[in-house]
Amino acid sequence: MTVPAFGVGTFRLKGQVVIDSVKNALDLGYRAVDTAQIYENEAEVGQAIAESGIARDQLFITSKIWVSNFAHDKLIASLKDSLKKLRTDHLDLTLIHWPSPNDEVPVAEFMGALLEAKKLGLTRQIGISNFTIALMKEAIAAVGAENIATNQIELHPYLQNRKVVEFAQSKGIHITSYMTLAYGEVLKDPVIKAIADRHGATSAQVTLAWAMQLGYSVIPSSTKRANLESNLKACALTLSEEDMAQIAALDRGHRLTSPQSVAPKWD
């Protein structure tokens, strides 16, 4: 099983807003949905999926374990709680959301528990999120690179995270990009807009296509059906080498998310 290249994210969406977003996405043809325990919307995502009428085997559902549930005796119980909320007996991918603050729970402990969850059939694949090279090395030592499906990281034209990407790819670990549109900042970028104009596309489509063309998965979110529909068209867009080079040159190490309580020492 591979991680789908394109899905819908649900970060910061709650209540009826997230139900409508996920239902619209599924109606438009999205089949991968990304959520997390800390988003406090798993139950609503589960409701949206149930009401969509789409068969479970057609979907790819991802959630993430929050740091307070990393201890061996808590992780699997918290995952079962997530499954209940999502109204499914398994996830397709379960991620460790952030590294354990101050290494309170060792990487080997929570990765071991996550691998146990996989062996129990509670999740098809396991992975990590917001992991640096040093933390990836620890995770690989704990469960083997072959058991780490992806590292989901902040990645957009202004933060291309090349060191982390190169290390992950050298170990066969896939990259999932979150905040691919940099909270909308890239939509105003003149370089990206010029590329979009050349292709008769939107800046969002160009940015998402750029990430997918580099081999990453993307999970953009939107509360507007029109934007969800427009974003999906990125899958059919092919950028030229020149386009890709111009976007590569936009990297400036501009990180948008680094919560003090959980952020590691970034590469």
Binding residues: 97
**42 Cβ neighbours under 8 A, 6+ residues apart:** 35, 36, 63, 82, 85, 86
Among residues 39, 158, 178, 216, which one is catalytic?
A: 39
Q: In what order do the strands lie in the sheet with 32-34?
A: 8-9, 32-34, 60-65, 91-96, 123-129, 150-154, 174-178, 217-218
39 tagged catalytic: yes
Radius of gyration over every alpha carbon of the chain, rounded to an integer in angstroms: 18
Exposed / middle / buried, residue 26 (Cβ in 10 Å: 0-12, 13-18, 19+): buried
Residues contributing to the annotated binding site for substrate: 97
Pairing of strands 217-218, 8-9: unpaired
- Alpha helices for the chain (secondary structure H): 15-28, 42-52, 72-86, 107-119, 133-143, 162-170, 190-199, 203-213, 225-232, 241-248
Catalytic residues, by residue number, are 39
